[in-house]
Amino acid sequence: MPKVLVTGGAGFIGSHVVDLLLAKGFDVTVVDDLSTGKRDNIARQARFHEIGVNSKEFAQLVRDERFDVIAHLAGQIDVRKSVADPVADATINILGTLNLMEAVKQSDAKTRIVFTSTGGVLYGDFNTPPNVETYPKDPESPYAIAKLSVEYYLAYYGRVHQQDAVAVRFGNVYGPRQDPHGEAGVVAIFCGRILDDRPLTVFGDGLQTRDYVYVGDVARAVWLAATKPLPEKGRLDARAFNIGTGEGTSVLEIARLLQGAARSNVPIEFAPRRPGEQQESFVDAGKASEVLGWVPEIALADGLAKTFAWFARETSGAAT
């Protein structure tokens, strides 16, 4: 069985990636420091190491195990925290990834690194969406700057050290096990508020758009990026793939769809627009379709219904 390491495998997206790779027959090892991930998310068939990606222990694990694939999802995921403490964000998201890449280089293994980047905030507000991979990048947050920095390192290590790496740039991922942090936390927040019978707070006019993509579709993109033939190594965007639906959906529409899924009439309340919030963001995933054979399969209304049902079951279980 191919050996795969999933960093951040106890987290929201990472745990779904672990589940899919196990189902596909991979021998899976998980690394997570459990700062945000949950031990209960980790499938029993996976081996687990509770260590951080900045640690010497992590580098030694990578060197010793010589994995066939490393799906790198570990990181600081909260844009607001990156603004408050950009040094801490860079320490985890940039230096932690360099620790991984140096360990792979020292292992001299034929390891494919699948780096989970962002399509939601990488391109900034200076393009007219849908954003394609080659659009100029001018991120507005330290979080997105760190993601872009890592992608430059991936291109460098590919050209100079012949490392086999690919970046998948996610839209706003939502689904079961989601927490309120990160770019798409609004879905989890709204689910919680509906279940608590509390109003849904929408900032500004609620017409700001994001590309909401279901976590199961995202996990499949990671698997395909790990296993499919890739373009030649080259410049920044040569091995980068947007993963999204190609459609922008407003926060107001998300609120209304979740109200419908929950058969709830909790009110929608409006609050002042948050300074610096991106107004429009959605990506063109045509390259992922052409090269990886990936297309989103879960429609937004269906995915939101699945997500709300999961939150409802979790809430009911916690109450008992």
Mean pLDDT of 285-306: 98
pLDDT at position 276 is 62
With contact defined as beta carbons under 8 Å apart, do 155 and 235 qualify? yes
**Rg (alpha carbons) of the chain, rounded to whole number:** 19
**Given this model, what pLDDT does residue 273 score?**
85
pLDDT bucket at 120, cuts 50 / 70 / 90: confident
CA distances from 111 to 45, 46, 190, 211, 213 (A): 22, 19, 40, 31, 28
pLDDT at 126 over 90: no
pLDDT band, residue 282 (cuts 50/70/90): very high
Fold of 175-211+246-282+298-319: UDP-galactose 4-epimerase; domain 1 (3.90.25)
Q: Do 187 and 258 meet the contact criterion of CB atoms below 8 Å apart? A: yes
pLDDT of residue 319 exceeding 80: no
Numbers of helices and strands, H then E, in the chain: 11, 13
Segment 279-306 mean pLDDT: 96
The angle that helices 215-227 and 12-23 make with each other, rounded to 10 degrees, is 60
**Helices marked H in 12-84:** 12-23, 56-65, 79-84
> Taking Cα atoms as reference points, which of 63, 64, 24 lies closest to residue 46?
24
Average pLDDT, integer, range 100-122: 95
Chain centroid to CA 222:
10
Regarding pTM above 0.75, the answer is: yes
Q: How confident is the model over 14-58, as pLDDT tens digits?
A: 999 999 999 999 999 999 999 999 999 999 999 999 999 999 999
> Which of 123, 135, 143, 157 is flagged as catalytic?
143
Say if residues 278 and 125 touch (Cβ distance below 8 Å).
yes
Question: Which amino acid, one-letter code, is at 217?
Answer: D
Dihedral pair phi/psi, residue 179, rounded to 5°: -115, 175
Give me the percent of the chain exceeding a pLDDT of 90. 86
Cα 89-34-240 angle, rounded to 5 deg: 50
Looking at residue 318, its pLDDT comes to: 66
Q: Please list the residue range(s) of the chain that carry CATH number 3.40.50.720.
A: 3-173+214-243
Residues of the chain with CATH 3.90.25.10: 175-211+246-282+298-319
- CATH 3.40.50.2300 correct for 3-173+214-243: no
Res 185 pLDDT > 70: yes
Has 143 been annotated as catalytic?
yes
Band of residue 69 on the pLDDT scale cut at 50, 70, 90? very high
Lowest mean pLDDT among 6-15, 57-66, 162-171, 277-286: 277-286
Q: With the C-alpha atoms ordered 63, 65, 68, 72, is the resulting torsion angle positive or negative?
A: negative
